[in-house]
Amino acid sequence: MKTDWNLIREMMSAAIDACERIEAAGYTESDRDATIDVAGQQVSVHDFLVSAWTLPENLRYQIIRERHDQAADLPYVPEAARILVAISQASAELIGAGDTAPAGDGIQKMIQWFGDHAAPSVEQAIADRRRAVA
């Protein structure tokens, strides 16, 4: 099955952009009880933030259910999914880490490794194997 990488990129960008804007607004824990009126109801910053992580969690289960309904269950966690989860977790550790990122040199090396070594090497190995079989 194909993957809609643009949709994944759009989802990740939306979350990153929202987190960046919340940080730029100066959010701190003491702001959790700040509220705004939404359709006549007071909604707190905390309510929005909890929704911002439960919405994707709930959506994940909807995706799993709909994949099941389409007989497209995953027999295992795909390697690309593991990469996204790991990079998301590493990225999350950088939130609030300051202007000089911990492990900054390692991060840059990893970014370069993905583009210069991992993807091209996998592409080459697959191409070589397919040529040998053909």
Residue 102 backbone dihedrals phi, psi, to 5 degrees? -60, 145
Judge whether residue 122 has pLDDT over 90. yes
Q: Which amino acid is at 71?
A: A
In tens, the pLDDT along 56-74 reads 999 999 999 999 999 999 9
Give the per-residue pLDDT at 83: 97
Give the per-residue pLDDT at 1: 73
What is the longest distance spanned by two Cα atoms in the chain?
67
Q: What is the pTM for the complete model shown?
A: 0.88
Judge whether residue 52 has pLDDT over 90. yes
Judge whether residue 95 has pLDDT over 80. yes
Rounded to the nearest 10°, the torsion over CA 77, 17, 11, 124 is -60
Judge whether residue 45 has pLDDT over 90. yes
Written as one string, the DSSP assignment of 41-92 is EEEEHHHHHHHHHHHHHHHHHHHHHHHHHTT---SS--HHHHHHHHHHHHHH
